Structure formats: structure tokens, C-alpha cells
Amino acid sequence: MKHPAPTHAVDMLIVGAGFAGLYMLHKARSMGLDALVLEAAPGVGGTWYHNRYPGARVDIQSMEYSFSFDEALQQQWRWSERYAPQPELLRYANHVADRFGLRDGIRLSTRMAGAHFDEPSQRWTVQAESGESWSARFLVMASGPLSSPNLPDFAGLKDFAGPVYHTANWPHEPVDFSARRVAVIGTGSSAVQAIPIIARQASELTVFQRTAAYAAPAHNGPLDRELEARIKADYAGFRARNRRMHGGFGSLLPPNPVSALAASAEEREAAFEQRWKIGGFAILGTFNDLLMNEQSNALVAEFVRGKIRAIVKHPGTAQLLSPTHTIGCKRLCVDSGYYDTFNRPNVRLVDINQAPIERITSKGLRTGGREFEFDALVLATGFDAMTGTMMRLDLRGRDGLRIQDKWHAGPLNYLGLGIAGFPNLFNIAGPGSTSAFTNVIVAIEHHVDWIADCIAYLDAHGLHTIEASEQAEAAWAEHVNAAARRTVFLSCNSWYLGANIEGKPCMFMPLAEGFPRYADHCAQVARDGYVGFVLQ
């Protein structure tokens, strides 16, 4: 495809105005770079712009899930709840855009169509769907690991007479489900948050479940002001301690440094119970091997199943809601009343694992030879994660190498940051980095800072391009795989593996070695003059 010559030139073109794009733009400007963000949506905020479904909120505590790069920002911003709801997170993103004067560097409602690396100029030509194009020395993909909604190809979906919503593409005007019969397909994190709220509104709610979900209680509520004051008294120290935690958060409650197998049954039960009362991801840190050792994992999984049996009154429903896979293998959901919702007389659970959905009809859907009728359908079916957004682009590196060919067997990369054949392209919080296993804002800040240091290095050494080597990529793929093999993460069909998308190559995409080791690794690569990258 031949494109017209680019109409504008910038130093850095950034794709996406979520938290990654906002901080990248701020950082680039602080380095004196001329940078521009292209954002497909009409507003900033990324994930928090699109995921407006009822109950959407962050699953990492807000005092941790927020930017650390500016002391005045972190001191002055006040979260209202332990886990901020989506509207507040969106306000925060907008506040950051205003506070740092970023808006004039962001082109909203401008969807990137593709980008081609131009050999003679050693620059990227980036095209928008509008037909505009830019020439950029650096291309930064800040498009997010969970930004392409997964719309399964259900037969007959178009025949459904009522409205169809996807949790990741929710309307801006309030959706009123009162006096309506609603169906939800999917039981991952999005569904687990939305279902209790939809159930309170709808006259009838039918949940179609393929795989039961583990959910730990959020115990959400107003932010503890005494805790806030304590953290703000030394926010920088708190952030630094979190960066030394496996997931980039949780320093107030580190994992217990012993194996679950070393404790007696009574000690284990008491320890699980204590962490369950604290809520959120705390339960997975009750012992240090719950995500590494299947035997230990089985103990905490059974503890949660016990909770489900205690909460859900109907034994058959409790049984169906009880997951059988390893806990944490799919991201643990953090809920507010999810299991209890199935005690409501207007809620029913339908297993679509044994008998998959046959087709959607004008009035509902058919599965297992049974017809279900409803007025509105909610698809909580997740994302084509980590690669979906880039694989939809016309992205071509050296010699016209298409990203679809480069990644046909899985997303090869080095450190998650670079791709051989795609010089001066950086990927933030994508495959090959700890992104999905980390407090993603910590991951974003780390990547942006690394990219900034890298560009400063290139300039200081009179170099123009940086590109991962194929050898480093192959070794990194093995490194990512080996880290996954040391955990329980390979034991189920998760989006980490691409297994939720039909036809997608199965390759474990995020790096499971923990943020501190990964960050140390990236720092060492930089100290060694970007070993594993080709610099020219």
C-alpha cells in the first residue's frame, strides 16, 4: 500500500492516551522532544474511558494504583474509596492531562491505521484512518494490553432483537435495566463486578458461565484517611517499597515467607481466614508458594470453594460456581457480593461449559436444547489481550516486515520493549514484560523511564536507531517461558496464553518472574550499553 508523504514531522509518535500515553507524552516533553499522541477515543483515559460497565473499579488499592512521578500530584490528589470506581479514575486521567498541560499534544478521535518504517530516512511514517500521516523518529505503542474487546462469533448474534452491550465498550449514557430481563455471558473480572449491580436492577438476570471464577472480597469502602495520611507522610518511600514487591504493590502486607505445606491444617485455615477478611489479592500472599506449587495452590483453592459453599445457599448453584482449575491461573477477581448475588430469586446460573451456546435467537439464546429469553444481552467476554490491538494495525518494519508475519506464532520481543525488525518502536506494558502481573501503573512508569533513558543514551552517543536482535528475542522467549513453567500459570486456558481467542497462537505472553527481577534485568541491559539490542 502506497501512502502519501507525511504531512507533519515529530520526534515521537505515541499511540494511546491512557495512563501510559499520558506519562510518555509528559516525559518526552520534559526531554525537549516534540511528541504527539494519537487517541482513537474522543477522550483520554484508555481503559477507564471505555470500561464504563456498572461496578467497574480498579482491583489494586488506589493509593497504589496511581502515578508516583510527581510528588505534588500524589500528595494533592485524594481518592474517595479504597478501590476507586471508574468515573473517579477517569477524572484522575483528565486531571493529569490538565495539570501537566498535555491536551495540546493529544489528537483525540484519531485512530491509527498503521505505520511503516522508512529505510532511507530511518523514520516511521504513521497513518491515521482519517488519511493524515506523520513522520516520527520514535513510535511508542501505549495502546494497552487489554484494549481490543473480544466479540465471540456467536451464531445468530445479529438476530437478537434487544440491545447488546460489551463491558469494554459500554455506552456513555446510563443503561437502565429496571424491569428488564438481562443475560450476561462470561464470568471474568468484568462480569464479576457488573453482575451484582445488574441483578439489583433487572427483573431477571441469567448468567451464562463457561468457566467458574475465583473471586476474593474487595471489602471496598471509603478510603481510610488515617492510612492515607500515613502513606502520604512518606509517599516516595511507600512507592519504592512497592517497587520491590513481586507485583509492584502490597508492601503494607507482604506475602508470608513460608510454604503452605509447612503449616498445619489449623494454621493454614486461620491464615487464609485472616487474609480473606483483609480482602483483594491478600489471600494469594498467605503463603509464598501458592502460585508456584500446585499442592499449595489446591489448599487455597479449596478454602475459597468452602467460602462459596458457605455463601451460596443452593448446593447445585454453589457447586457450579466452584472453580476446579488452579486459583490465580486466570487473574483472581476482586468482588463486592458476587457469589451472594446467586441467592437472589431473580438470578439464575446456566452452565455453557457442558453445552455451549448453540445460537443467539431474536428473543434470547439456545443452549443444551433449551431456550432462554431475555430483553438485553451483556457480553463480558474479555479481550484479545496483549497483541490484539497491534495485530489489527498495518504495522510494517524493515523490508516491509508485517507485524502479523513477525508474530504469527506468538509475540516475539526483547524485554517486552523492543521487536527485531521494528527499529525505534517501543511497546509499553505489552507481552514479554511483567505488565499483566504488575500494578500496571508501576509497569508503565518503569517502561516510560527506561525508554527516556534509552533515547538519551542514543543521543549522547550520536546513534539514531535501536532495535532488538533476533538472538536476544529468542533467548527472551525462552526466559518468559521458563518463568511461566515455575508457576501454576500454564495450567489453564487464560488470556495470558491467548487461549481465550479462537485461532490465536498459544504462547505465554506476560513475564511471571516478578517486577523487581524484571526491572533489575532491564536496568542491567541499559548499564551494559543496551546489550541484546542493535544500535546504529
Nine-digit cell string for 234: 512518606
Which region, judged by CB under 6 A, interacts with ligand NAP, from 91-99, 182-190, 279-287, 339-347?
A: 182-190
Residue 166 and residue 384 in contact, taking contact as beta carbons nearer than 8 Å = no
Q: How many residues bind ligand NAP (CB under 6 A)?
A: 24
Sign of CA dihedral 401, 404, 405, 406: positive
* Cβ atoms within 10 Å of 33's Cβ, excluding its own: 17
Which of 380, 429, 451, 525 is the binder for ligand NAP (CB under 6 A)?
A: 380
Q: Which is nearer to ligand NAP, 157 or 311 (CB)?
A: 157
Q: What is the per-residue binding string for ligand NAP in 332-351, x denoting contact by CB under 6 A?
A: --x-----------------
Q: Which is nearer to ligand NAP, 193 or 326 (CB)?
A: 193
Residue 366 and residue 357 in contact, taking contact as beta carbons nearer than 8 Å = yes
Q: Quote the Cα angle for 507-510-515, to 5°.
A: 155
Please tell me the distance from the alpha carbon of residue 207 to that of residue 349, in angstroms, as a whole number. 5
Please tell me the distance from the alpha carbon of residue 36 to that of residue 344, in angstroms, as a whole number. 50
Q: Which is nearer to ligand NAP, 59 or 204 (CB)?
A: 59
- The radius of gyration of the chain's CA atoms, rounded to the nearest angstrom, is 23
Is residue 210 a contact point for ligand NAP (CB under 6 A)? yes
Q: Which is nearer to ligand NAP, 132 or 358 (CB)?
A: 358
Question: Could you give the 3-state DSSP secondary structure of residue 420?
Answer: coil
Minimum gap (Å) between residue 388 Cβ and ligand NAP:
12
Is residue 443 a contact point for ligand NAP (CB under 6 A)? no
Is residue 382 a contact point for ligand NAP (CB under 6 A)? yes
Please report, as residue ranges, which positions from 42 to 81 form the binding site for ligand NAP (by CB under 6 A): 58-59
Residue 443 and residue 433 in contact, taking contact as beta carbons nearer than 8 Å = yes
Which of 66, 68, 147, 187 is the binder for ligand NAP (CB under 6 A)?
A: 187
Closest residue to ligand NAP, Cβ-based? 188
Please tell me the distance from the alpha carbon of residue 393 to that of residue 211, in angstroms, as a whole number. 31
Please tell me the distance from the alpha carbon of residue 245 to that of residue 294, in angstroms, as a whole number. 22
Which DSSP string do the residues of 143-170 spell out, in sequence order? --SS-SB-----TTGGG--S-EEEGGG-
Q: Which is nearer to ligand NAP, 189 or 288 (CB)?
A: 189
Minimum gap (Å) between residue 437 Cβ and ligand NAP:
10
Residue 397 and residue 422 in contact, taking contact as beta carbons nearer than 8 Å = yes
Which of 189, 286, 465, 487 is the binder for ligand NAP (CB under 6 A)?
A: 189
Please tell me the distance from the alpha carbon of residue 141 to that of residue 386, in angstroms, as a whole number. 11
Q: Which is nearer to ligand NAP, 55 or 105 (CB)?
A: 55
Please report, as residue ranges, which positions from 118 to 177 form the binding site for ligand NAP (by CB under 6 A): 146, 152, 167
Strand (E) or helix (H) holding 4? none
DSSP 256: P
Minimum gap (Å) between residue 242 Cβ and ligand NAP:
17
Q: Which is nearer to ligand NAP, 331 or 344 (CB)?
A: 331
The amino acid at 118: D
Minimum gap (Å) between residue 85 Cβ and ligand NAP:
10
Which region, judged by CB under 6 A, interacts with ligand NAP, from 131-139, 186-194, 267-275, 386-394?
A: 186-194
Q: What residue ranges bind ligand NAP (CB under 6 A)?
A: 58-59, 146, 152, 167, 185-191, 193, 210-211, 331, 334, 352, 380-383, 495, 500
